[in-house]
Structure 1
Amino acid sequence: MEGNYTYEPRIGLRSPNLTNTTVNLQESFEIDLEDTNWILTSSFIIFTMQTGFGMLESGCVSIKNEANIMMKNLADISLGGLTYWIFGYGMSFGQGPLSNPFIGVGDFLVDPPVGDALMGPVFASFLFQLSFATTATTIVSGAMAERCNFKAYCLFSFLNTIVYCVPAGWVWGEHGFLNRMGAVDIAGSGPVHLIGGSSAFASALMLGPRLGRYAKGYDPLPLGNPVNAVMGTFVLWWGWLAFNSGSTYGVSGAKWQYAARAAVMTMMGSFGGGAFGLIFTLFKNKGRADVLDLINSVLGSLVSITAGCFLYRAWEALLIGAIGALIASLSAALFDRLHVDDPVGASAVHGACGFWGVVAVGLFADNPIPMETTNGRSGLFKGGGWYLLGVQTLTALCLMLWGALVTMALLWLIDRVLPIRMDPYDELLGADLTEHRVRHGQVGVSRAVSALRPFHRSSSIEDIGSIGVNTGHNMVIDKLSELKKKRSKSGNLKIFTNQAFVGETANEQTFRNTGFLNKRPGNPENDLHRVIDSMEGELNGTNHDDTVKNGGKLTAKNLEHFKGKKFKELSASELEELGQMQANEDRFRHKIIEHDYKNDVDRSGITTPSFKWIE
């Protein structure tokens, strides 16, 4: 592979052993010992962002899928990193004779030999770019959470490098047509976040929403672990500093000054986004701050500031961050109205804010003298004219279209080999149990439902130990045991058809968007089997009819009926039935907690408690 690292003659590196030596090297390898140290350290810190993404995503999904989403993050690094080494780096930065403005060719299977003058710079460059590539792939995993087949996702993770590495070459590679036009993106608002967000949007659109996601309106489902989600945000915040300041590609010459400026402007942008997010969520939720609103505001501001992190003044960074937080909030609401179900908000935070971050350079960028980052140009508001804004807008459009269209094609092809969508039976029980043999003790009604089914009694499931202890869950199982005994005596299990949870109005499910891979027409009637409602009725102290009549016959279709069926094989009414089961899980657990609170108040003997249960 020794011949891969030659392109054009330049003065040798400033390292002591290469002083006054002429070697052939790429421009990105003009780094000395101090620069290499900075690049490697930044790369190590950027890799901790994988921890942040994992914690954020696992905190946003339901408890029954938290191990599954962490496993996908592991797959992203292992498989995506492997393919980036095999061909991704070469397609982004290869400078072989066949390279062209669309794609790089060369430098595949990166492995410079011992004694090569560029061994250190090449490895440092590869590691830094690898950390960016794995981040772009991980963004997509959050949008596909809780309903994507794990094996199919592994195949997607293996091939998704193609989605990132080609447009990264357009912007950062010497061969790239956008680079030659003067496109500016210091740390990846476009090639990393806009590509990742567009890919996330396409994957969520094609998969369709989780079962029951919009069965009770557009409000987000309860987070499985809000503390994990917030902790993940802090880890990402930390990693972002290395992401942006490390993109100066060293600290020699004037680089160290702009590295410091990049770090401070990154924080200023996040301050603007966080402050706006607090005001927005308090206003939106009538004085209550929503966890996910604030998280997405902070992350949206960080994405927005990334493209021009050392090209702005402090007040400009604050403004760009605040606008990014607004865009993230509005985009998330819009996507929900379109039934594009993105549990973590990757489409809005990384996609929409990535677009804004690229365009913002064309508006606010300074010319960072003596560095040549902007090729001597400034943004529109800095007297630089329209050219840079035009190039930045074109860059954002090219990246967005590439990320969305190539992801759709890739998922469609993978679906021909392995079904992308999980089986509905497995989706309701949770991927942790069905994919990884991890059995949680606090997932609530999904386990309560399965307790009545033959599947639950199989030895393969019974042998799996539970994680955690939850008294509410045990109470549900006890209730189900009582129902099961009554059924064995009477021969029939009573079915109730109340409207489930008080104060919640069921949203009419139209199934206008169940994903391109799983299209379903029609507007089915709401006639569902909801066995868990009997326990909810006991908690509320209400009375319900004990039968459901459908043409004079009792309907009692249970979860076992769906076992083995693929998502595309189900009718619209069956999808609605499963969706209602899924939608009721976390809300039912909420009712159990409310019941425990009321019992505590009764036992205390307080006639007028100081605070009321929050409805």
Structure 2
Amino acid sequence: MYSSASTIWVLLGAALVFFMQAGFAILESGLTRAKNSGNIIMKNLMDLSIGAPIYWLTGFGIMFGSASGFFGGIDLFAQNDYSAILPAGVPMEAFLIFQTVFCATAATIVSGAMAERTKFSSYCIYSLLISAVVYPVSGHWIWGGGWLAEMGFHDFAGSTAVHMVGGVAALVGAKVLGPRIGKYGKDGKPKAILGHNLTMAALGVFILWFCWFGFNGCSTVGADGDEALLAMGSIFMTTNMSAAIAGVTVMIFTWIRYKKPDVSMTLNGTLAGLVGITAGCDAVSIGGSALIGFICGIVVVLSVEFIDQVLKVDDPVGAVGVHGVCGALGTILVGIFAIDGGLAYGGGFEYLKVQVIGVASVIVWVAITSAIIFLGIKHTVGLRVSEEEEILGLDIKEHNLVSSYADFAPTTSLENATTGLVSMNEAIPVENMSKEVPEATSDNGEGDFTKIVIITNQSKFDILKAALTDIGITGLTVTQVLGFGMQKGSTNYYRGIEVDVALRPKVKLEMVVCKIPVETVIAAAKKALYTGKVGDGKIFIYNVANVIKVRTGEEGYSALQDDDK
């Protein structure tokens, strides 16, 4: 007899864990550069698209077969009878899809650590192999009735089985692959390579946090009876508390360490809390989950710094620290904070010892198999793109995608340019335009021309514009720019690495004046901008030899006048 409640609960969990792919995709894309966004999306899509059929083909049988405690067995397309391991009241297909999306999650963790320099074809090969063999074997040890399960190893929802597997593979892959061009200087000091969209990265974290309630909560794989209902509420609460405490911890820790609270590191901190609590979310108290979140929050910052600055492993999104280190740490902490048998509750060291053995054995398995896979790919089809491809970006070189943000990309298309002119200016049809350039007229008697350029903070634009309008300035060219002065800006940190030159967002106003005295413009600008603090801006004065209006050929003062109506 099947249970409607349990089946729906498992399928809801499968849907939420499936949606974690969206969270990972936009998180990783946001923390990397725009020129590789399309490639990131494709890799996350293929983790699921390749992983689902491969896990059905071989992975499920290896993971849940009963051949031995180390290897489940080969069962192509999951044809054997698995009734002995199925959750009560849950059909085979529901359990299969639930396990499939967990497998895809382990594979997708690697994507971020190897971002911006990996061949797409090579990544697809790796994604296939982790879903076919690497993840299922260690998964069998933990969840398939294997030798770790027999020892009493506890990993309720996958801190080790899913996250640490992905994190260790990410570390090996990133090490074999090597750092991105420009990541480390000749002295070995790491340089910050900023992600292009922290807003997108934050949305990815919120999606992952939301989906984690399915990842952890639905891992009860049952919804019948008071015991199951009590477990659901407890798991939701411990999951949320660990994430929240970890986020606050990282905010405060980076505030002290870097003088300002680091945004991207705090995003990583929240995920570290989620990863850390996943193993013991059913076994610890709310207070215990808060302690796990606090510990993971401190450790994730230190581990990201250590991996980046000491090990010299280039991990653009912090996947190794978040999933690898905190996955292992969270699993071990179950042996301390578990209410039933944990060291903190007088349970002795036996539980803790089993947790440590389980973590260590999975690390060895994943490290060895991942090294074989990545080195094998490197020395056959190749693992890394060429230097030219990396500099231009993987979007255009791997996918023939000019830009993932087409509206912001410059266009050289004559057709597009013409269309834009017609729609905006109601241009005269080409056949009706004069074939001769109008005779140039000169009006050089109106005085000297001076170009004035003002660069200041964006927040001062409206005040400055109003001040210039009041003195009669009617023509302005305004652009948003990034820059710094001779002082090189102020010291900033990105993910714990000092940014050598902080490019500040500025607004740049350009104007050419003739009749209005330059001193009047300067005085008005200084009055509008002055605060006495760094960042008020600068004014540059240039002599202009002449001004020519292209449409009419007029020169001098007449060229400055706008008579187009």
Q: Give yes or no for TM over 0.5.
A: yes
Q: Does the 8 A contact of 2:6 with 2:90 survive in 1?
A: no
| Secondary structure of 1:109 counterpart | coil
Aligned equivalents of 2:484, 2:349: Cα separation in 1? 64
Structure 2 Cα separation of the partners of residues 315 and 269 of structure 1: 9
Q: TM-score, normalised by structure 1?
A: 0.66
CA distance in 1, matches of 2:49, 2:35: 24
Q: How does 1:521-560 map to 2 (within 5 A)?
A: none
What secondary structure does 1:439 align onto? coil
Structure 1 contact 94–108 (Cα < 8 Å) conserved = no
2:382 matched to 1:410? no
Query: Which residue of structure 1 lines up, in the alignment, with residue 203 of structure 2?
Result: 231
Counterpart AA for 1:250 = G
DSSP-derived class of the 1:215 partner: coil
Separation in 2, partners of 1:614, 1:292 = 29
Alignment of 1:65 onto 2:36: yes
Structure 1 residue 361 and structure 2 residue 329: aligned? no
Which residue, 124, 144, 147 being the options, matches 1:173?
144
One-letter amino acid matched to 1:164: Y
| Partner Cα separation in structure 1 for residue 532 and residue 21 of structure 2 | 43
Kindly report the root-mean-square deviation, in angstroms, between the aligned alpha carbons of the 2 structures: 3.2
Aligned to 1:105: 73
Which of 97, 107, 130 is residue 100 of structure 2 equivalent to? Answer: 130
Q: Contact 2:156–2:280 at 8 Å: present in 1 too?
A: yes
| Equivalent residue number for residue 273 of structure 2 | 301
Partner of 1:596: 507
Q: Secondary structure at the match of 1:160?
A: helix
1:107 and 1:90 map into 2 onto residues whose CA distance is: 5
**Per the alignment, do residues 440 and 325 of structure 1 end up closer, same or farther by CA in structure 2, a change over 3 Å counting?**
same
Residue 290 of structure 2: aligned partner = 318
CA distance in 2, matches of 1:221, 1:614: 28
The Cα shift of 1:81 comes to 1.6
Q: How many residues align?
A: 438
Residue of structure 1 equivalent to 2:63: 92
Aligned position for 2:319: 346
1:163-211 CA distance string (max 9 Å, x none): 211101000112x110111111100001101111001111111111000
Of the candidates 385, 390, 398, which is equivalent to residue 422 of structure 1? Answer: 385
**Counterparts of residues 127-276 of structure 1 (less than 5 Å):** 127-161=97-131, 162-174=133-145, 176-215=146-185, 217-218=189-190, 220-253=192-225, 254-276=227-249
Structure 2: which 5+ residue stretches go unaligned? 421-481, 487-498, 512-520, 538-565
The structure number with the bigger radius of gyration is 2
Change (3 A) 1:364 1:442: same
Residues 44 and 608 (structure 1), Cα distance of their counterparts in 2 relative to 1, 3 Å cut: same
Aligned residue type for 1:325: G
> 1:453-602 counterparts in 2 under 5 A?
591=503, 594=505, 596=507
Q: Equivalent residue for 2:454?
A: none
- Matched letter for residue 181 of structure 2: L
Classify 1:463/1:309 alpha carbon distance in 2 versus 1 (closer, same or farther; 3 Å). farther
Mapped contact 2:530–2:536 kept (Cα < 8 A): no
Local SS of the residue matching 1:108: coil
Cα 1:465–1:361, aligned 2, differ >3 Å: closer, same or farther?
A: farther
Task: Map Cα deviations across residues 499-549 of structure 1 (whole Å, 9 max, x no partner).
Answer: xxxxxxxxxxxxxxxxxxxxxxxxxxxxxxxxxxxxxxx97798xxxxxxx
With over 3 angstroms needed to count, the CA separation of the structure-2 counterparts of 1:612 and 1:160, relative to structure 1, is farther
Q: Residue in 2 aligned with 1:507?
A: none
Does the aligned pair in 2 maintain the 1:274–1:297 contact within 8 Å? yes
* Structure 1 residue 404, shift from structure 2 partner: 1.7
CA distance in structure 2 between the aligned counterparts of 1:44 and 1:135, rounded to whole angstroms: 13
Residue identity opposite 1:355 in structure 2:
A
Distance 1:87 1:611 in 2: 66
Q: How does 1:362-381 map to 2 (within 5 A)?
A: 362-367=335-340, 378-381=341-344
Q: 1:416 to 1:464 in 2, by over 3 A?
A: farther
- Compute the displacement of 1:429 (Å): 0.3
The corresponding residue for 2:427 is none
The reply on whether 1:400 has 2:373 as its aligned counterpart is no
Are the equivalent residues in 1 in contact too, given 2:216–2:236 (CA < 8 A)?
yes
Instruction: For 1:540 and 1:293, locate their aligned partners in 2 and report how far apart those are by CA, in whole Å.
Output: 25
Percent identity, aligned pairs only, is: 36
Distance, in Å, in 2 between the alignment partners of 1:380 and 1:66 is 45
* Structure 1 residues 376-410: Cα deviation after superposition (integer angstroms, max 9, x where no partner): xx111112222111110000101112122211111
Deviation digits for residues 420-447 of structure 1 (CA, Å, limit 9, x no counterpart): 011000000000111112223989xxx9
The corresponding residue for 1:431 is: 394
Q: In structure 2, what residue type is equivalent to 1:285? A: Y
CA distance in structure 2 between the aligned counterparts of 1:34 and 1:302, rounded to whole angstroms: 26
- CA shift, 1:415, in A, is 2.0
Contact 1:189–1:304 under 8 Å retained in 2: yes
Q: Is the strand fraction higher in 1 or 2?
A: 2
**Residue 46 (structure 2) pairs with residue 75 (structure 1):** yes
Letter in 2 for 1:264: M
Aligned partner of 1:52 in structure 2 is 23
Q: Is the 8 A contact 1:439 1:464 kept in 2?
A: no
- Match of 1:124, SS state, is helix
1:303–1:610 CA distance, 2 compared to 1 (3 A): farther
Task: Render the CA deviation track for 1:271-294: whole Å, top value 9, x for unaligned.
Answer: 2101101101211221x2222110
What's the offset of the Cα at 1:599? 6.8
Mean CA deviation greater in 177-186 or 382-391: 382-391
Inter-partner Cα distance in structure 2 for 1:541 and 1:196: 43
Give the Cα separation in 2 of the matches to 1:356 and 1:285: 24
Instruction: Report the alpha carbon displacement of residue 220 of structure 1 after superposing the two structures with TM.
Output: 3.2
What CA distance in whole angstroms lies between the structure 2 residues aligned with 1:397 and 1:207? 24
Gaps of 5+ in 1: 1-12, 16-31, 368-377, 452-460, 470-537, 543-585
Q: Is the 8 A contact 1:65 1:146 kept in 2?
A: yes
- Separation in structure 2 between the aligned mates of residue 399 and residue 464 of structure 1, nearest angstrom: 58
Once residues 236 and 171 of structure 2 are traced to their aligned partners in structure 1, the CA distance between those partners, rounded to angstroms, is 29
The answer to whether the 8 Å contact 1:438/1:464 transfers is no
The alpha-carbon deviation at position 83 of structure 1 amounts to 1.0
Please tell me whether the aligned partners of residues 250 and 256 of structure 1 are also in contact (alpha carbons under 8 angstroms).
Answer: no
Give the Å deviation of 1:463.
10
C-alpha distance in 2 between matches for 1:203 and 1:94? 29
| Counterpart AA for 2:317 | V
Distance (whole Å) between structure 2 residues aligned to residue 404 and residue 261 of structure 1: 34
The secondary structure found in structure 1 opposite 2:317 is: coil
